[in-house]
């Protein structure tokens, strides 16, 4: 039996007569139903607890009489116990040790365990990034020893206590008591019954068919996630069912189809509570039926006007806190650069002062601290400002929660430069635990970590290459438009915002390959920790490190734990995209600064790829359009594809690299889709395999380059939307050779002997009899037919190569997605 309950709520005293009306929520009825056996057990426990408490208090009373506070500290130190602050806490800890034995260090982190009413909690840290989460009612102990010099004290000399285990009161559900309204408990204007950050807030969910959980369990899960159950199709936002129920197509399911309600599997409920993927991504992953419109929450009733008070809180904390009137992707400050750093505009001194620079060191720091347990996602900025004309100095500080307007700042004038430097360095060391001039930074528990911040130094150079493009270019118009699309900085920022990356802490200019590779390494550790069932503390530590390295903007939400395979996969996908965005932005910043050239031509040259427009009336274009039309999968019916432009591409050096594989049999022209923001990286560096640091489980068939023979399977990876309906897709000649055929996920690290590629077998394949051959390369442009393979987890074929030299990119298509329903 678990004996957990706050001790102060347990009645031990005698003669406590119950007053009429003390019954709470029918607890008397429950008490009446208790068996005699349970009552006897409770009575024995109550007596034992009373005796235990009396013993502890008697020891504390005597110790107060015979020992000074310094004596008590000596007793703790001698028994290798940490000395807490405060007389009362010291007395409690000595009495605990005398009665139950000296606590041994935590087995996980070697920290000090401390008694807190319901258990012993570790106060240590697993690493410098993460607090230890150990909590136990049965800690390891050794005998408490009284030093020789203390045996002169009569009480301690006579005291003989048999070491015993601590008894804890039983855990009982506390009575439900209405909490008083509190301005701090919830942001003003938010309906407290369904917090806005719950994924299914204000949604009505219909369930159909036999699910693995009973109706009450499903209802509890849905309500926990902010939703409500409904029994009517035309009132539902979403339907949870089974594939069997969809195939059966009952009358109720027909109503769901007619109402255009999306149908997802029961697993969706589990994933939506734990995954970091967006709701549209999760819906797509668990979709059971081809129909369905965009899932929308019902509009929330306006909250009773607490927010009308005009208080600062109601202005700053309404719902998930955002900066009013600012698009999330545009909320980066424009800072005034002077010398090596920018003056924070919140100081009010950006036009009259500058950041002090001394000995090549700029006195400005931005610090970050993530602690998932506490829900911390904080920043701290520190600057030493010097007047532009006079000898006047200020220390400017600002602090708050990342991604919100919660926070404050302080501007402090300091008498002299020396005083200002001393004060700055003291504050820096106080916040980080490191000296300002220290060359090797060490992360300390509960201390901030310095972040690299881009103040826009590179933006002017980038703007030169993106302003007034096309005025001098000799490139064909479709190629010009393609280059503008590939190097669109706003699209890059938008992609980062979709991944909840904080653009103020990690703007485009500060994306670095080294940083991304370090983040991959952490994800590999997460994957290993999850698969080995490692402790919560280890997973917490890895999550804290990841979010500090790649700052995220979660607003008021707690940073989610990276504790399952889906989280790892979502973050791997994010880093894959960031690598290509980093390449694109690096290309934009680097290279020629020739003002005589058109910016488009400058960027085109950086791609090192020959791009030619294919005549839309040519046989070549007709074949490609046929390939698009015929291989659009029936289940991908949320959109139609329209070919806008076809480009023949030839990457510098790629044909030569591919030459040895031209002799390999089984070469096919296959599709590969990706976000438009990734194409500068793809064209300049080729399709690449995930780096060694990336976890292998982030990919269904291991780290390789993935292709498809159904256009829509690859088109889904373009991440087009109704707001942004144009995407880019590649056709590459792929040397497949002998294929290792698989029906289920297998994290391939090395191909079996004699195999050159992997084919994930799908249930549907392009009609083999309709395939054609172009220059010895098979083009599988037949319409989709059954492959005859039914015991596979894939609907459509996938082809994977593990050597970048096995692909020669041939065509790039610009596609317009004509949406019938929302995909993302």
In order, the DSSP letters of 18-30 are: PPTT---TTHHHH
> Which tens digit of pLDDT belongs to each residue from 369-389?
877 666 667 788 899 999 988
Query: Could you confirm whether 87 is annotated as catalytic?
Result: no
CA–CA separation, 387 and 192 (whole Å): 48
The region, left, alpha or beta by phi > 0 then psi within -120 to 50, assigned to residue 155 is alpha
CA–CA separation, 45 and 325 (whole Å): 60
Q: Where are the beta strands (DSSP E) in 737-806?
A: 739-742, 757-760, 762-766, 772-774, 777-779, 784-786, 794-796, 798-801
Q: Which residues of the chain have pLDDT under 70?
A: 1-34, 171-197, 275-276, 291-341, 372-376, 402-407, 452-471, 499, 502-511, 554-557, 591-596, 697-698, 821-824
Q: Residue 723 has which token pair? A: 């707001």
Q: Which CATH number fits domain 609-819: 3.20.20.10, 3.40.50.300, 3.90.228.10, 1.25.50.10?
A: 3.90.228.10
Give the torsion sign (CA, 694, 698, 699, 705): negative
Cβ neighbours of residue 204 closer than 8 Å, sequence gap 6 or more: 227, 228, 229, 230, 235, 236, 237, 238, 298
Backbone angles phi, psi at 562, to 5 degrees: -90, 85
Question: Within 10 Å of residue 781's Cβ, how many Cβ atoms?
Answer: 22
Confirm if 168 and 3 have CB atoms less than 8 A apart. yes
Confirm if 362 and 340 have CB atoms less than 8 A apart. yes
* Helix extents (H) in 370-476: 417-432, 459-466
Question: Within 10 Å of residue 103's Cβ, how many Cβ atoms?
Answer: 23
Q: If you count them, how many residues does the chain have?
A: 824
CA–CA separation, 387 and 347 (whole Å): 12
Which whole-number Å values give the CA distances from 292 to 232, 236, 822, in the listed order? 16, 12, 9
Q: Quick one: which of 132, 136, 83 has its CA closest to 446? A: 132
If residue 811 lies in a helix (H) or strand (E), which one and from where to where? strand 807-819
438-441-442-447 Cα dihedral, nearest 10 degrees: 90
Q: Residue 585 has which token pair? A: 């932005």
CA–CA separation, 373 and 449 (whole Å): 17
- Strand order through the sheet with 784-786: 784-786, 762-766, 794-796
Query: What confidence score (pLDDT) does residue 613 get?
Result: 96
Backbone angles phi, psi at 777, to 5 degrees: -110, 130
552: helix, strand or coil: strand
Selected catalytic residue, list 386, 481, 500, 798: 798
CA–CA separation, 174 and 170 (whole Å): 12
Q: Which fold has domain 204-285?
A: Rossmann fold (3.40.50)
Confirm if 625 and 488 have CB atoms less than 8 A apart. no
Confirm if 384 and 348 have CB atoms less than 8 A apart. no
DSSP bridge partners of 742? 760
11: helix, strand or coil: coil
CA–CA separation, 567 and 526 (whole Å): 10
As annotated, the residues of the chain forming the CATH 1.20.142.10 domain(s) are 459-601
CA–CA separation, 73 and 704 (whole Å): 61
Q: Residue 331 has which token pair? A: 């909320």
Q: In a 10 Å sphere around its CB, with 0-12 CB exposed, 13-18 middle and 19+ buried, how is residue 691 labelled?
A: middle
B/e letters for 34-63, b = 16+ CB within 10 Å, e = fewer, are eeeeeeeeeeebeeebeebeeebeebbeeb
Q: In a 10 Å sphere around its CB, with 0-12 CB exposed, 13-18 middle and 19+ buried, how is residue 143 labelled?
A: exposed
As annotated, the residues of the chain forming the CATH 3.90.228.10 domain(s) are 609-819
Q: Quick one: which of 356, 422, 423, 365 has its CA closest to 392? A: 356
CA–CA separation, 443 and 709 (whole Å): 49
Look at strands 341-343 and 336-338 and give their pairing.
Answer: antiparallel
Q: Residue 350 has which token pair? A: 């950006």
Q: Residue 710 has which token pair? A: 């159904």
Give the torsion sign (CA, 4, 9, 10, 12): positive
Confirm if 207 and 59 have CB atoms less than 8 A apart. no
CA–CA separation, 788 and 715 (whole Å): 25
CA–CA separation, 255 and 261 (whole Å): 9
Q: Quick one: which of 218, 199, 220 has its CA closest to 208? A: 218
Look at strands 777-779 and 772-774 and give their pairing.
Answer: antiparallel
* Helix extents (H) in 4-153: 27-32, 36-66, 69-78, 87-100
CA–CA separation, 424 and 417 (whole Å): 10
Cβ neighbours of residue 696 closer than 8 Å, sequence gap 6 or more: 527, 702, 703, 747, 749
Confirm if 356 and 417 have CB atoms less than 8 A apart. yes
Q: Which fold has domain 459-601?
A: Poly(ADP-ribose) Polymerase; domain 1 (1.20.142)
Q: Where are the beta strands (DSSP E) in 126-227?
A: 135-136, 141-142, 204-207
B/e letters for 366-404, b = 16+ CB within 10 Å, e = fewer, are bbbbbbbbeebbbbbbbbbbbeeeeebbbbbbbbbbbbb
The region, left, alpha or beta by phi > 0 then psi within -120 to 50, assigned to residue 692 is alpha
CA–CA separation, 493 and 478 (whole Å): 24
Q: Which fold has domain 45-158?
A: N-terminal domain of TfIIb (2.20.25)
Question: Within 10 Å of residue 754's Cβ, how many Cβ atoms?
Answer: 8
* Helix extents (H) in 172-250: 215-224, 243-248
Query: What confidence score (pLDDT) does residue 192 get?
Result: 35
As annotated, the residues of the chain forming the CATH 3.40.50.10190 domain(s) are 204-285
Q: Residue 447 has which token pair? A: 């201390």
B/e letters for 165-184, b = 16+ CB within 10 Å, e = fewer, are ebebbeeeeeeeeeeeeeee
CA–CA separation, 594 and 640 (whole Å): 42
525: helix, strand or coil: helix
State CA 204 to chain mean position distance. Answer: 26
CA–CA separation, 467 and 458 (whole Å): 14
104: helix, strand or coil: coil
Query: What confidence score (pLDDT) does residue 204 get?
Result: 87
């Amino acid at each position: 039996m678990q004996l957990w309950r706050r001790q102060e709520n347990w009645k031990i005293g005698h003669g406590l007569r119950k007053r009429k009306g003390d019954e709470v929520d029918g607890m008397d009825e429950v008490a009446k139903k208790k068996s005699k056996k349970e009552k006897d057990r409770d009575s024995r426990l109550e007596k034992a607890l009373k005796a235990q408490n009396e013993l502890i208090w008697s020891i504390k009373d005597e110790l107060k009489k015979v020992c000074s506070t310094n004596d008590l500290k000596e007793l703790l130190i001698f028994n290798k116990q940490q000395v807490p602050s405060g007389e009362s806490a010291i007395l409690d800890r000595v009495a605990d040790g005398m009665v139950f034995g000296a606590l041994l260090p935590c087995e996980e982190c070697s920290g000090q365990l401390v008694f807190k009413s319901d258990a012993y909690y570790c106060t240590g840290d697993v690493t410098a990034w993460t607090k230890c989460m150990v909590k136990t009612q049965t800690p390891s102990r050794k005998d408490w020893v009284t030093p020789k010099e203390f045996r002169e004290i009569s009480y301690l000399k006579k005291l003989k206590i048999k070491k015993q285990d601590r008894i804890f009161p039983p855990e009982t559900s506390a009575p439900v008591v209405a909490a008083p309204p509190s301005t701090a408990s919830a942001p003003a204007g938010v309906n407290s019954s369904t917090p806005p950050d719950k994924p299914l807030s204000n949604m009505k969910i219909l369930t159909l068919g036999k699910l693995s959980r009973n109706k009450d369990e499903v209802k509890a899960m849905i309500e926990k996630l902010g939703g409500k159950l409904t029994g009517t199709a035309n009132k539902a936002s979403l339907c949870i069912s089974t594939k069997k129920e969809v195939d059966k197509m009952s009358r109720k399911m027909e109503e769901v189809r007619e109402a255009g309600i999306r149908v997802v599997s029961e697993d969706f409920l589990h994933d939506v509570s734990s995954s970091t993927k967006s709701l549209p991504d999760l819906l797509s992953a668990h979709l059971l039926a081809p129909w369905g419109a965009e899932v929308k929450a019902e509009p929330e009733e306006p909250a009773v006007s607490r927010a009308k008070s005009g208080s600062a809180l109601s202005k700053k904390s309404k719902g998930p806190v955002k900066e009013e009137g600012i698009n999330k992707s545009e909320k980066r400050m424009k800072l005034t650069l002077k010398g090596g750093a920018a003056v924070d505009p919140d100081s009010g001194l950006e036009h009259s002062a500058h950041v002090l620079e001394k000995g090549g060191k700029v006195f400005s720091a931005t610090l970050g601290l993530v602690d998932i347990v506490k829900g911390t996602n904080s920043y701290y900025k520190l600057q030493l400002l010097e007047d532009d004309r006079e000898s006047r100095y200020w220390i400017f500080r600002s602090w708050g929660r990342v991604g919100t307007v919660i926070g404050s700042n302080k501007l402090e004038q300091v008498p002299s430069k020396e005083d200002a430097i001393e004060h700055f360095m003291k504050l820096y060391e106080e916040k980080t635990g490191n000296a300002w001039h220290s060359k090797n930074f060490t992360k300390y528990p509960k201390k901030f970590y310095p972040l690299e911040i881009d103040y826009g130094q590179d933006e002017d150079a980038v703007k030169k290459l993106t302003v007034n493009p096309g005025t001098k270019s000799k490139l064909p118009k479709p190629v010009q438009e393609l280059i503008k699309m590939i190097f669109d900085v706003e699209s890059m920022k938008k992609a980062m915002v979709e991944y909840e990356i904080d653009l103020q802490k990690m703007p485009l200019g500060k994306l670095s390959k080294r940083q991304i590779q370090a983040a991959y390494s952490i994800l590999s550790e997460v994957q290993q920790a999850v698969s080995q069932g490692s402790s919560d503390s280890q997973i917490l530590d890895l999550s804290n490190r990841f979010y500090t390295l790649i700052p995220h903007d979660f607003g008021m939400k707690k940073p989610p734990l990276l504790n399952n395979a889906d989280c790892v996969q979502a973050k791997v996908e994010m880093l894959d995209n960031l690598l290509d965005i980093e390449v694109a932005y690096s290309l934009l910043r680097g290279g020629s600064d020739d003002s005589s050239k058109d910016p488009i031509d400058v960027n085109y040259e950086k791609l090192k790829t020959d791009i030619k427009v294919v005549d839309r009336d040519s046989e070549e274009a007709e074949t490609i359009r046929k390939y698009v039309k015929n291989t659009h999968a029936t289940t991908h019916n949320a959109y139609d594809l329209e070919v806008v432009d076809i480009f023949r591409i030839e990457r510098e050096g790629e044909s030569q690299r591919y030459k040895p594989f031209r002799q390999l049999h089984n070469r096919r022209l296959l599709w590969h889709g990706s976000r438009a923001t990734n194409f500068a990286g793809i064209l300049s560096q080729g399709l690449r395999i995930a780096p060694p640091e990336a976890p292998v489980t982030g990919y269904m068939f291991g780290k390789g380059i993935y292709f498809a023979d159904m256009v829509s399977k690859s088109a889904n990876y373009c991440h087009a939307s109704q707001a942004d309906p144009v995407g880019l897709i590649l056709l590459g000649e792929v040397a497949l050779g002998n294929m290792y055929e698989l029906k289920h996920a297998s994290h391939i690290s090395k191909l079996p002997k004699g195999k050159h590629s992997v084919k994930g077998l799908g249930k549907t394949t392009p009609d083999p009899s309709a395939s054609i051959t172009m220059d010895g390369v098979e083009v599988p442009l037949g319409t989709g037919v059954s492959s005859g393979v039914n015991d596979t987890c894939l609907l459509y074929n996938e082809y994977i190569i593990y050597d970048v030299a096995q692909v020669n990119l041939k065509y790039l298509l610009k596609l317009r997605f004509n949406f019938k329903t929302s995909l993302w």
